[in-house]
Amino acid sequence: MDSLPAGLSNSQKDELMDQVKQQIAVANAQELLTKMTEKCFKKCINKPGTSLDSSEQKCVAMCMDRYMDSWNLISRTYSQRIDKERHRM
């Protein structure tokens, strides 16, 4: 937090950091949703139309479930690795 503006109190710095963390979390969620939508659309929708047939609906649902499961696994693994690195210091 040393790179934050000097005129801020500790509580203001903490509040600013919380806001930045929230903005990062929102940006990450938006990116996840965008990538998941793109990948599952390419995989499951052969002929775009006004509605999805049942096989396309099932494919999209399963694709999104697998994508989220994979993303959660990677996120947990990454967090664990960061925690291990912090403990080594």
CATH of the domain at 83: 1.10.287.810
d(CA 85, CA 28): 23
* 27 in a structural domain: yes
Give 8 or 69, the one with higher predicted confidence: 69
Mean pLDDT value across residues 26-39: 93
Give Dmax (Cα) for the chain. Answer: 59
Residue 68 lies in domain: 10-88
Q: Cα(26)–Cα(8) distance, rounded to whole angstroms? A: 25
Amino acid 8 reads L
pTM of full prediction above 0.75: no
Q: How many domains does the chain have?
A: 1
Cα Rg for the chain, rounded, in angstroms? 20
In a domain, 58, yes or no: yes
Distance CA 53, CA 71 (A): 27
Count CA within 13 A, CB hemisphere, residue 79. Answer: 6
In this prediction, residues 73-82 reach a mean pLDDT of: 92
Does pLDDT of 83 surpass 60?
A: yes
Share of the chain above pLDDT 70, in %: 93
pLDDT of residue 20: 92
